[in-house]
Amino acid sequence: MASKKSKQKMSAGQWAIFAFLCVLVVVFLYPIAFIFINSFKGKFFISNDPFSLPDGETFVGIDNYINGLTKTGFLGAIGWSFFITIISVALIVFFTSMTAYYITRVKGKLTNGIYFMFAFSMVVPFQMVMFTMVSLADKLKLNNPIGMCFLYLGFGAGLAVFMFSGFVKSIPLEIEEAAMIDGCNPLQNYFGVVFPILKPTAITVAILQAMWVWNDYLLPYLVIGLSTNYKTIPVVVQMLVGSNGNKDMGAMMAMLVLAIVPIVIFYLSCQKYIIEGVVAGAVKG
Amino acid sequence: MQKTLKKYFLVFTLPTLIAFSLAFVIPFILGVYLSFCKFTTVDNATFNGIQNYINAFSSTSGFISSLGFTVKFVVVAIVTINVFAFCLALLLTKKIKGTNVFRTVFFMPNLIGGIVLGYTWQQMLNAVLLHYEKTLISSPTFGYWGLVLLMNWQMIGYMMIIYIAGLQNVPTDLLEAAKIDGASRSQTLFKVTIPMVMPSITICTFLTLSNSFKLYDQNLALTAGAPSHKTEMVALNIVNSFYGKAGYEGVGQAKALMFFIVVGAVGLLQLVFTRKQEVDQ
Amino acid sequence: MKKKLISTLLCVSMVATMLVGCGGGSEEADTSGETTTEETEIETEEAGDDAAAEESTEEGDAAASAEGGKVYYLNFKPEADETWQAIAAEYTELTGTEVKVVTAASGSYEETLKSEIAKTDAPTLFQINGPVGYQSWKDYCLDLKDTDFYSWLLDPTLAIEGEDGGVYGIPYVVEGYGIIYNNAIMDKYFALEGAKAASMDEVNNFAKLKEVVEDMQARKDELGIDGVFASTSLLPGEDWRWQTHLANLPVYYELKDKNATDVDALDFTYAENFKNIFDLYINNSCTAPGLLTSKDVTSSMAEFALGQVAMVQNGNWGWGQISGVDGNTVAETDVKFLPIYTGVEGEESQGLCTGTENFFCVNSQANEADQAATIAFLEWLYSSEEGKAHVTNDLGFIAPFNTFEDDEKPTDPLAQEVLRYMEDSSKTSVSWNFTIFPSQQFKDDFGAALGEYCNGSMTWEDVVNTVKTRWAEEKAAVAAAE
């Protein structure tokens, strides 16, 4: 489609818009370019001359990256961020779709009540349950990556159930009934018939939840926090900048770059799904 | 079919329900109770009536001023983000070369987390202000506009995508009909296009509203409330009450409950509004 | 029928797999739990062996009762984080006791302690900053009266005593702060024609200091410096040198006048003196006043280390931050201390500000094995040869314990200076009174007000008012919380 469009001749007005958009692209990318450039400067030069390109005296190569990585355990953080995000999203998609299916198909006071609770939880600000949830998580020994995934299942359930329910409603009952007549029991029916139909919604849910879990700061900070080796990327970035005793601007720039890179790669490779997922999520949520 | 399925209640719902109860239901109920208690940990709570609520409104707790700052921010953020996003969406549906590339770039900041984004902008803005011998926390005005700028940067792309989807659904024959009837461009825009994308506008307003209202990460990273808590938003103020000051956990919990009521009320209004819209169509 | 049976079987097996899947997860968790306990068991066995071996030598009894205990220290000093980690690793290697050290970000110790101590795996060793800290944390402080660690204290009155006579906090370091100056730059200035003084000995009050500093600032190009003072770091969390340390002087003099140890309302009678020195710092610096709210301690110490400035206010703990900077141009012998003069009458005999705001506390709510392990760790650190070497050489602490011989004092130039001032009978040390400052909140607000003053968005009068009202409010809030 896009290639077809570009073959068309553009009018002067369209060229003007094109030029304007190009300027805007530069504006949008500038902050990222800014930290990228500065991540190669020595830490004392950054604050003095932030806009220049690194040259002989100020250029320190990848020192900042090495410093940042060794000081903060950033590599570990990348690993834990991946671990927690992938497991949490898998748990959320797997379990909440089942729950959503059940409470949509089986009508009753109980299921209605449950559905209402899930929808309700989306409105509640995190701060409302923050303190009590952290104490509870600590008492139940959930202050580890596995426990975090479990908590994310609980927190993500609201939005996920809500979205899956909306979609399940639109699946015609006939398909399932046919399967039931063939002798499938509900589980077979669900995994054999319903879940494949849910796949597009599952992708949407997965993307929305992945974006949230990956970037989430407060929950991992409070639950597993400083005292363990399971820090995630946002926690490490905040620590590095917040730990003022040995603040290192260069290392900070480098870590910001490293924190952005995986997201950009992920985005560029699954762009289509992400944009579609976000639109679908917004329209339904 | 329902009957057979009904027996599978636990199989289908148990894991989600356990996690949901632990992460949300129990903490929520406990939280409501604790907002009427004095406590430092969940185990040593003693009932003290509405004292926490009274303390939350005292001038030193900063709750009211943070609420004021938040509202001021939310209003400007909603307007700017939506206007810019809508304009960009209009431009990107004009069959310009490289539309996909533009869309990709504009959307990208949305994926970067609040903490990382906040520090990126802090560095940027400090570098600009250095020129004027000022810093981001020299004055609350800088922090305020910095936050507006940052949120625009982050959310414009997101809203733009939704508007594009909305604009693409406007039937072309309707636009052509307007053209034939001799409607000017602005007339077409305000009389045809905008009413047709009203659902998108509602969605975007709601999303910007709830995202800006509950903003925490960006606020923490950009200014952390400096100078003197003047750029502190509600969410940050609540977290600071919980963890910043011994003996103020109860006050934090009370503030959180009030925050929830405000957010809930706004959300409910929005829902009613959306429903009405849907009926109208 | 057959078909149905098969399908039922299939589903059962599916559910079974799922359940096993779940069960497997928890089992795995269980086994991992088991392995860790096994590991600790092995470790403690080793510890036991070690302890048995050591029994004949020294602290065998403490180590034996500490069997199975773990140490978790929440460290206050970010600059010493690496050293503490190394000490922890060495101790674990030596005894098998697990020692975990976590460092709180500067300015957020209370906050971190608060969230950490509510956890089941809470710190066993933490610190309070004095009587005010004790009031907030007394529920978590163990009585240390019967420990050897307490008995070694040179001056037992320095320890924090509870109302019941128990000992709940033990000072572990004595520190001093003042204005650190680079003697080479000063000598260069004194050699200039028309210098306002001939040597540092003449600079013994505020008037003289101001005269010299302002002249130096005017002639900074001749001296090859960017400014006299390093940046007055006012970034939130980085402002403790002013809202705590510098603020100690007016409070010290006010308490002295009132003959009190604490006040509910601060009159801030010496506000003008604070302003004297503060203005001198910000107006004769390498950084414009408007930019100070972006500066941190590290960069201001680096400015000093790189020879860009002649003076910086800090304490002897800052030596590592001077010597550790790449391209450091300051010779060790040129690093000296000057008392902070503020224009108070008779300040010629004023010495450095010396004292402590670092008191070790053992978590009374930790289990007994952990408490014993923690005390054993402290006693090792402050009495064994290896431990003491870490304390004096790596941490650079002037330790207030009789287990340290005269030659076991830190050798870095700043610690030497602190000791010199302490031993000089003509100088009166200024005690650390900021331990009675009402709360971290008060200090943060004071720091923010100073930042706004530098930016020109707050008048000095407003700063003074902020200090007075916030002091009274926070003192009342603390009293109400008790």
Distance CA C150, CA A8 (A): 86
The single residue listed with the structure tokens 């919980």 is B242
Distance CA A177, CA B266 (A): 41
Taking one residue from A and the other from B, the number of pairs with CB-CB distance under 8 angstroms is 288
In the predicted model, what is the mean pLDDT of residues C178-205? 94
Same domain, yes or no: C220 and C346: yes
The larger pLDDT score, comparing residue B9 to residue A152, is at A152
What are the boundaries of each domain within chain B? Answer: 2-52, 63-280
Contact B135 C473 (CB under 8 A): no
CATH 1.10.3720.10 applies to domain B63-280: yes
Both tokens of C9, joined, read 């079987």
Q: Is the pLDDT of residue C224 over 70?
A: yes
Range of the domain at A173: 68-284
pTM comes to 0.82
- Which range is least confidently modeled, B198-207, B221-230, C27-36, C420-429? C27-36
How distant, in Å, are the alpha carbons of C59, C295, C406 from that of A47?
51, 9, 44
> Model confidence over C232-271: pLDDT tens digits?
999 888 899 999 999 999 999 999 999 998 899 999 999 9
Contact of B13 with chain C, judged by CB distance below 8 Å, is answered with: no
Enumerate long-range contacts of C23-32, CB under 8 Å, 24 or more apart.
C25/A146, C29/A146
The single residue listed with the structure tokens 């797999």 is C17
Residue A81, min C-alpha distance to chain B (Å) = 12
Contact of A252 with chain B, judged by CB distance below 8 Å, is answered with: yes
Contact A188 C14 (CB under 8 A): yes
- Share of residues in chain A with pLDDT > 90 (%): 33
In the predicted model, what is the mean pLDDT of residues B98-116? 90
Chains in contact with A via at least 3 Cβ–Cβ pairs below 8 Å:
B, C
Q: Is residue A221 part of a domain?
A: yes
Residue C446, min C-alpha distance to chain B (Å) = 9
Same domain, yes or no: C111 and C50: yes
Contact B41 C118 (CB under 8 A): yes
* Mutant choice from B6, B8, B13 vs A, greatest count of A C-beta within 10 A: B13
* Mutant choice from B60, B142, B223, B241 vs C, greatest count of C C-beta within 10 A: B60
How distant, in Å, are the alpha carbons of B135, C53, C59, C275 from that of C56?
62, 7, 9, 60
For residue C477, the domain's CATH number is 3.40.190.10
* Mutant choice from C120, C239, C294 vs A, greatest count of A C-beta within 10 A: C120
Taking one residue from A and the other from C, the number of pairs with CB-CB distance under 8 angstroms is 80
| Beta bridge mates, A41 | A59
How distant, in Å, are the alpha carbons of A80, A143, B5, B138 from that of B15?
23, 18, 17, 50
Q: List the single residue in A with minimal CA-CA distance to C74.
A: A227
Residue B202, min C-alpha distance to chain A (Å) = 10
Contact A146 C237 (CB under 8 A): no
Of B113, B207, B216, the CB nearest to A214: B113
Name residues 81-120 of chain C within 8 A of B (Cβ).
110-111, 114-115, 118
Q: Report the first-to-last Cα separation within chain A, whole angstroms.
A: 29
Both tokens of C150, joined, read 């307490």
Q: Is residue C222 part of a domain?
A: yes
> Model confidence over B179-237: pLDDT tens digits?
888 888 888 888 888 888 888 888 888 889 888 999 999 999 998 888 888 899 999 99
pLDDT reported for residue A187: 86
Of B103, B153, B260, the CB nearest to A124: B260
Distance CA B57, CA B277 (A): 37
Chains in contact with C via at least 3 Cβ–Cβ pairs below 8 Å:
A, B
Query: What is the secondary structure of C15-51 as a DSSP string?
Result: HHHHHHHHHHHHHHHHHHHHHHHHHHHHHHHHHHHHH
Q: Which DSSP state fits C219?
A: T
Same domain, yes or no: C311 and C326: yes
Distance CA C359, CA A187 (A): 62
pLDDT reported for residue A281: 75
Residue B67, min C-alpha distance to chain A (Å) = 14
The dihedral through the CA atoms of A69, A72, A74, A75 has a sign that is positive
Q: Is residue A138 part of a domain?
A: yes
Kindly report the average pLDDT of chain C as a whole number: 84
3-state secondary structure of C124: coil
pLDDT reported for residue C47: 40
pLDDT reported for residue A13: 83
Q: Is residue C232 part of a domain?
A: yes
A142 vs C contacts (CB less than 8 Å): none
| Beta bridge mates, C312 | C180
Q: Is the pLDDT of residue C211 over 90?
A: yes
Q: Is residue C194 part of a domain?
A: yes
Range of the domain at C327: 177-354+426-481
pLDDT reported for residue C52: 39
B81: Cα within 13 Å, side-chain hemisphere: 33
Contact of C284 with chain B, judged by CB distance below 8 Å, is answered with: no
User: ∠A142-A70-A144 over CA atoms, to 5°?
Assistant: 5
> Model confidence over C309-327: pLDDT tens digits?
999 999 998 898 888 887 8
Name residues 14-53 of chain A within 8 A of B (Cβ).
14, 17-18, 20-21, 24-25, 28-32, 34-35, 38, 47, 50-51
Contact of C449 with chain B, judged by CB distance below 8 Å, is answered with: yes
Name residues 1-20 of chain C within 8 A of B (Cβ).
15
Same domain, yes or no: C397 and C454: no
Q: β-strands C175-182, C350-355: how paired?
A: antiparallel
Provide the phi-psi class of C397: left if phi over 0, else alpha when psi is between -120 and 50, else beta: beta
Q: Is residue C202 part of a domain?
A: yes
Contact A136 B22 (CB under 8 A): yes
* Whole-complex ipTM: 0.88
A268 vs B contacts (CB less than 8 Å): 104
Q: β-strands C175-182, C309-315: how paired?
A: antiparallel
C237 vs A contacts (CB less than 8 Å): 242, 244
Of C100, C105, C115, the CB nearest to A243: C105
pLDDT reported for residue B273: 75
Q: Is residue C414 part of a domain?
A: no
Both tokens of B136, joined, read 């981001």
Distance CA C280, CA C199 (A): 20
> Model confidence over B121-178: pLDDT tens digits?
988 898 888 888 888 888 889 999 999 999 999 999 999 999 999 998 888 888 888 8
User: ∠C288-C294-C295 over CA atoms, to 5°?
Assistant: 80
Same domain, yes or no: C56 and C132: yes
Q: How many CB atoms lie within 10 A of CB B83?
A: 13
- What's the structural domain count of chain A? 1
Same domain, yes or no: C337 and C456: yes
* Helices assigned H by DSSP within A92-194: 97-105, 109-123, 126-139, 145-169, 173-181, 186-189
Q: Is residue C410 part of a domain?
A: no
B11 vs A contacts (CB less than 8 Å): 98, 187
B62: Cα within 13 Å, side-chain hemisphere: 25
Q: How many CB atoms lie within 10 A of CB C254?
A: 18
Q: Is the pLDDT of residue B14 over 60?
A: yes
Residue B138, min C-alpha distance to chain C (Å) = 6
Same domain, yes or no: C209 and C239: yes
> Model confidence over B45-97: pLDDT tens digits?
889 889 999 989 987 788 999 999 999 999 999 999 999 999 999 999 988 88
Q: List the single residue in A with minimal CA-CA distance to C28.
A: A146
Same domain, yes or no: C325 and C474: yes
Q: Is the pLDDT of residue C82 over 60?
A: yes
pLDDT reported for residue C53: 40
* Helices assigned H by DSSP within C314-364: 319-323
Kindly report the average pLDDT of chain A as a whole number: 85
Q: Is residue A6 part of a domain?
A: no
Cα–Cα nearest to B38, from B28, B30, B46: B46
Residue A244, min C-alpha distance to chain C (Å) = 5
Q: Is the pLDDT of residue C11 over 90?
A: no
| Beta bridge mates, C430 | C353
* Mutant choice from C26, C286, C294, C470 vs B, greatest count of B C-beta within 10 A: C294
Same domain, yes or no: C156 and C301: no
C169 within 8 A of C141, measured Cβ to Cβ: yes
Of C102, C118, C296, the CB nearest to A244: C296
- What's the structural domain count of chain C? 2
Same domain, yes or no: C332 and C277: yes
Contact C136 B246 (CB under 8 A): yes
Contact of B226 with chain C, judged by CB distance below 8 Å, is answered with: yes
Q: Is residue C419 part of a domain?
A: no
Strand ranges in chain B using DSSP code E only, listed in sequence order: 37-38, 46-47
Distance CA A248, CA A241 (A): 8
In the predicted model, what is the mean pLDDT of residues A100-105? 92
Q: Is the pLDDT of residue A228 over 80?
A: no
- Share of residues in chain B with pLDDT > 90 (%): 45
Q: Which residue numbers of C have CB closer than 8 Å to A's CBs?
A: 3-4, 7-8, 10-11, 14-15, 25, 29, 72, 77-79, 81, 100, 102-108, 112, 115-116, 118-121, 235, 237-238, 294, 296-299, 302, 306
Same domain, yes or no: C331 and C364: no
How distant, in Å, are the alpha carbons of A148, B131, C290, C332 from that of C335?
50, 33, 29, 6
Exposure class string for A117-131: b at 16+ Cβ within 10 A, else e: bbeebebbbbbbbbb
In the predicted model, what is the mean pLDDT of residues C177-190? 95
Both tokens of A250, joined, read 């260069």
Residue B181, min C-alpha distance to chain A (Å) = 23
Same domain, yes or no: C89 and C111: yes
Q: Is residue A29 part of a domain?
A: no
User: ∠C161-C164-C169 over CA atoms, to 5°?
Assistant: 25
